[in-house]
Amino acid sequence: MSLLTDATEEAVINIIEQILSRFGELDGLGVSSEDAFEIRKAENLLRAVVESNPHYTKTK
Question: What's the whole-model pTM score?
Answer: 0.81
**Statement: residue 60 has pLDDT above 80:** no
pLDDT at 54: 86
Distance CA(22)–CA(9), nearest Å, equals: 21
Long-range own/partner contacts, residues 34-42 (CB < 8 A, 24 or more apart): none
Condensed to tens digits (0 to 9), the pLDDT of residues 46-55 reads 999 999 998 7
Which residue would you say has higher pLDDT here, 3 or 39?
39
In the chain, where the domains are located: 30-60
Condensed to tens digits (0 to 9), the pLDDT of residues 5-50 reads 888 999 999 999 999 999 999 999 999 999 999 999 999 999 999 9
Instruction: Indicate the Cα dihedral angle 52, 49, 6, 58, nearest 10°.
Output: -50
